[in-house]
Chain A
Amino acid sequence: SQKIEQNSEALNIQEGKTATLTCNYTNYSPAYLQWYRQDPGRGPVFLLLIRENEKEKRKERLKVTFDTTLKQSLFHITASQPADSATYLCASPRDTGRRALTFGSGTRLQVQP
Chain B
Amino acid sequence: DTAVSQTPKYLVTQMGNDKSIKCEQNLGHDTMYWYKQDSKKFLKIMFSYNNKELIINETVPNRFSPKSPDKAHLNLHINSLELGDSAVYFCASSQGPDVGPYEQYFGPGTRLTVT
Contacts and interface: CB of A to CB of B under 8 A. Distances in A.
Contacts of A34: 103-104
Interface stretch (A58-66, A76-84, A95-103): A95-103
Interface string B34-50: 00000011111100100
Interface string B72-86: 000000000000000
Interface stretch (B13-21, B61-69, B105-113): B105-113
Interface residues of A, number: 23
Contacts, number: 52
A43 B108 contact: yes
Contact of B45 (A89, A100, A105): A100
Nearest to B47: A100
B98 interface: yes
Interface of A: 31-32, 34, 41-46, 49, 51, 87, 89, 93-94, 98-103, 105-106
Given A43-B92, A100-B99, A103-B44, 11 more contacts: A31-B101, A43-B107, A43-B109, A46-B103, A49-B101, A89-B43, A99-B99, A101-B99, A101-B104, A105-B40, A106-B41
Interface of B: 4, 40-45, 48, 55-56, 58, 90, 92, 98-99, 101, 103-109
19 contacts: A32-B101, A42-B108, A43-B4, A43-B90, A43-B109, A44-B90, A44-B106, A46-B103, A49-B101, A87-B41, A89-B43, A99-B98, A99-B99, A100-B45, A101-B104, A102-B45, A103-B42, A105-B40, A105-B42
